[in-house]
Amino acid sequence: MTNMKMRFMVPVLAAGLAAAMPRLANACAMCGLSPGDHAGHAYNTSVLFMLAAPYVTIAVMGGVLFAAWRRAKRDEHPHAASPPLRR
């Protein structure tokens, strides 16, 4: 066999093997649960928390940096008079 045929045949054989083994297709955490099992809800909730964690972390870091920037701007000129109004 040539190298090009081998590159085509290996994925085809792997897909055929996976399709022929139904237990392998049901190997995920959700597929093995019985209908109405509360573990599915817990699993989905944990996935949502894992997806939200990076966004919450970045938001908190941004809030801390913004507060530090505002405090530095305020402390830069604590007794500066406001500019005169134009008439």
Specify the DSSP element, H or E, that contains 47: helix 38-76
Q: Pull the structure tokens for residue 23.
A: 């237990």
Question: Where do the domains of the chain lie?
Answer: 3-30+39-76
- The C-alpha torsion from 75 through 77 and 80 to 82, rounded to 10°, is -90
35 vs 47: CA distance, rounded Å:
19
pLDDT of residue 15: 83
Q: Which pTM value belongs to this model?
A: 0.49
Instruction: Give the model confidence (pLDDT) of 29-44 as tens digits.
Output: 676 677 777 888 888 8
User: Could you list the mean pLDDT of each consecutive 10-residue stretch along the chain, which spans 87 residues?
Assistant: 76 80 62 77 90 97 96 77 64
The predicted pLDDT at position 55 comes to: 97
